[in-house]
A = this chain, B = another copy of it.
């Protein structure tokens, strides 16, 4: 039994849905299923009733829930003991594209300044390809990208989530006939795209 499994379990229990939990955790639904299954196998107890496509906590599941909550709460408390957050000072310079910024950043910034009020935060628009050099030079500390894949050896890269790429055209546009639409189909057409790296 590992913390990762408990965390997944808590998420499913909160959402009462494997699929939604997977989305929140940024993982595949099958992975959520596998983790819950591993948990149930190890404890030799079913923690969810799958009645049709409804997901409900069993009695054992409710017990596990309280234990898991207490444990994650305990780890949170412990972590805060080590990284005494309120004392974190300094500045953080982040490069983030406008498209991402407008959607995700408000909530993130709010939470961040709540947790780290002593950190001065600088946000810069992202629009070019100097990113690698900028990160290496220390001019910026952190960057968010919309990208197919990132291969920078010198910096730490973490995939946060994936977004579908959707094409939008005016009514009657010839490309609308094609379904599915491939990148190759775009050849020769003019189009606006969200930024890449």
Contact = CB atoms under 8 A, between A and B. Distances in A.
Interface residues on A, range: 20 to 34
A75 interface: yes
B2 A82 contact: no
Contact of A43 (B4, B43, B44, B82): B82
Given A1-B3, A83-B44, A67 B78 contact: yes
Interface string A55-70: 0000010011001001
Contacts of A67: 74-75, 78
Nearest to A68: B78
A45 interface: yes
A2 B35 CA distance: 14
Main SS of chain A's interface residues? helix
A71 interface: yes
A1 B83 contact: no
Contacts of A43: 79, 82-83
A81 interface: yes
A86 to B, nearest CB: 15
A44 B82 contact: yes
A1 B3 CA distance: 7
Q: By CB atoms of chain B within 10 A, which of A44, A75, A82, A83 has the most?
A: A82
Contacts of A4: 2
Interface in A39-54: 43-45
A83 B40 CA distance: 12
Contacts of A60: 82
